[in-house]
């Protein structure tokens, strides 16, 4: 028939219907029932194979146990619907009745399986009587229906292992494990990575070596069993909670010693919190919480240790350069300023602006004993405050007695605030030239008071205080600066030689 037909003056094209069965061919079902074989590795089903017969387990206990032993299904529960297909029986065990049903012989036992290649067993249960002829191999193969193979989980429990291949694979696994550990150590940014490098330990922590750092850790490790951790909820509600640390309750995946390493790295390098988060593979907010937590912890722990020395202890360690006129010196004082980010509000700008630095700053007063140990550090004040006012509000006057002398720079006009002697360079007092008698005194005081500036330089070797401090850490800058000053006593040796 032509594809086009003329209907009047119009040519009409016949539409060809699309039938999905023309494109896809499905396997035909040959039976209505849906019976399956329970033998391992056998996937026979009566739904798509009407040539197979399926037989129930016998009711006799002895014969049923023999069936279970042959099909290798230990611990298997037999139900009325559990059946074995006819391809596992000898051909002579199955006979056809007048009605066309295929039934088993009374003593039939399944003996043909995938693990014996469906071969006829020569001995044992289910063997054929000698009076009947043996079926030929061609007949056996014709009766076998091709099936999909499956895993034999219950066939055999004995596993044969090639010992030489096993040892070789074991050595290869151990080598790969060592290589993976090495790569993990090289990739991870932690204390163990730099344990063998004193230069890196000094750069990241401020301690001269790994042994010095571990000695400091041994001093504080007992106190780290309970930490008052700062969380996001605690910041909002101004409340903190004390929890006992363990691998299950630890709020971060870092160990406490690695958290200390992160905190020291933050002080020493001045890295941003985002950069530290990438290095330690944690979130930036977690870095912020770790820094604030350890700043408060070390502020309380190191601050509880009395750094103020008695006059007897000061004289016992007094350097030779202080002998003579300045042997009664108890503390050498000086002020330092930290530049900080300028806020948008004009009021804080005017309060914290320092004419000396021409920038918005925080000011603190630091004191050291004559041999160079830090013995006093004040809180941070506004940069516009004078040295005299900082001295008055710092609280150091309550520690001084009439037998104690202090050594200060020219900017400290505190003679009326100190109960004892004040060693201070002479002023010109609007004179054109300094008197000759005051020149040696001024030179000697300047030569001795320079050590406190060296101690301040040790503190400012931590890059966090050598740059402009961001406003984001202004709430904890007092704790950070105090902890850094107190750590200088543990990180460094004597400042002034005897």
Pairing of strands 422-423, 329-339: unpaired
Predicted confidence at residue 250, as pLDDT, reads: 54
Distance (Å, whole) CA 253 – CA 188? 13
pLDDT at residue 20, rounded to an integer: 43
Query: Tens of pLDDT along the chain (498 residues)?
Result: 444 444 444 444 555 555 544 544 444 555 556 788 899 888 888 877 777 888 888 888 888 888 888 888 777 888 888 899 988 888 888 888 888 888 888 889 998 888 888 886 554 444 444 344 444 444 444 444 444 444 555 555 555 667 888 888 989 999 898 888 776 655 667 788 888 889 999 999 999 999 999 999 999 999 988 788 877 554 444 444 444 444 445 556 788 999 999 999 999 999 999 999 888 888 999 999 999 999 999 999 999 999 999 999 999 989 888 888 899 999 999 999 999 988 877 777 777 788 878 888 999 999 999 998 999 999 999 888 889 999 999 999 999 999 999 999 887 888 889 998 999 887 766 667 777 777 888 888 888 888 899 999 999 999 999 888 888 888 899 999 999 999 999 998 777 765
All structural domains of the chain, each given as residue ranges with its CATH number in brackets, are 25-159 (no CATH), 191-303 (no CATH), 311-491 (3.30.420.10)
The CA-CA-CA angle for residues 345, 348, 350, to 5°, reads: 105
Give the pLDDT of residue 293.
93
What predicted TM-score, i.e. pTM, was given to this entire model?
Answer: 0.60
Confidence (pLDDT) at 46: 80
pLDDT (0 to 100) of residue 87: 87
Half-sphere exposure at residue 489, Cβ-oriented, CA atoms within 13 angstroms: 19
């Amino acid at each position: 028939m032509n594809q086009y037909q003329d209907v009047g003056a119009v040519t009409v094209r016949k539409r060809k219907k699309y039938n999905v069965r023309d494109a896809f061919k499905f396997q035909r079902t040959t039976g209505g029932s849906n019976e399956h074989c329970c033998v391992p590795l056998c996937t026979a089903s009566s739904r798509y194979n009407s040539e197979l017969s399926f037989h129930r387990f016998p009711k006799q206990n002895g014969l049923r146990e023999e069936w279970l032993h042959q099909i290798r299904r230990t611990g298997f529960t037999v139900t009325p619907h559990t059946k074995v297909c006819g391809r596992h029986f000898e051909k002579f065990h199955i006979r056809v009745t007048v009605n066309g049903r295929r039934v088993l012989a009374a003593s039939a036992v399944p003996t043909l399986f995938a693990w014996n290649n469906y071969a006829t067993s020569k001995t044992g249960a289910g063997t054929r009587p000698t009076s009947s002829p043996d079926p030929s191999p061609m007949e056996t193969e014709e009766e076998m229906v091709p099936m999909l193979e499956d895993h034999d989980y219950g066939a055999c429990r004995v596993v044969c292992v090639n010992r030489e291949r096993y040892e070789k694979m074991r050595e290869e696994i151990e080598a790969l494990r060592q290589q993976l550990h090495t790569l993990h150590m090289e990739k991870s940014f932690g204390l163990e990575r730099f344990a063998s490098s004193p230069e890196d330990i000094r750069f990241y922590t401020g301690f001269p070596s790994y042994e010095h750092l571990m000695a400091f850790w041994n001093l504080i490790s007992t106190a780290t069993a309970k930490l008052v951790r700062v969380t996001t909820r605690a910041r909002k509600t101004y409340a903190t909670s004390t929890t006992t640390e363990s691998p299950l309750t630890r709020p971060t995946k870092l160990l406490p010693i690695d958290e200390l390493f992160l905190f020291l790295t933050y002080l020493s390098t001045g890295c941003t919190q985002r950069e530290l988060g990438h290095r330690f593979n944690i979130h930036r907010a977690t870095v912020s919480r770790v820094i604030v937590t350890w700043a408060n912890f070390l502020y309380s722990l190191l601050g509880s240790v009395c750094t103020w020395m008695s006059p007897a202890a000061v004289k016992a360690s007094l350097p030779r350069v202080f002998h003579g006129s300045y042997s009664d010196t108890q503390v050498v004082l000086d002020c330092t300023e930290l530049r900080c980010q300028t806020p948008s509000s004009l009021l804080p700008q005017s309060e914290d602006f320092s004419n000396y630095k021409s920038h918005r700053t925080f000011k603190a007063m630091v004191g050291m004993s004559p041999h160079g140990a830090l013995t006093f550090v004040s809180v941070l004040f506004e940069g516009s405050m004078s040295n005299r006012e900082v001295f008055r509000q710092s609280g150091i006057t309550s520690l001084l007695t009439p037998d104690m002398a202090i050594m200060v720079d020219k900017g400290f006009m505190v003679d009326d605030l100190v109960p004892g002697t004040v060693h201070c360079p002479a002023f010109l007092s609007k004179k054109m030239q300094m008197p000759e008698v005051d020149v040696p005194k001024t030179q000697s005081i300047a030569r001795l008071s320079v050590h406190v500036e060296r101690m301040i330089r040790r503190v400012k070797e931590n890059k966090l205080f050598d740059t402009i401090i961001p406003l984001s850490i202004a709430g904890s800058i007092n704790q950070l600066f105090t902890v850094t000053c107190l750590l200088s006593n543990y990180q460094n040796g004597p400042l002034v030689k005897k």
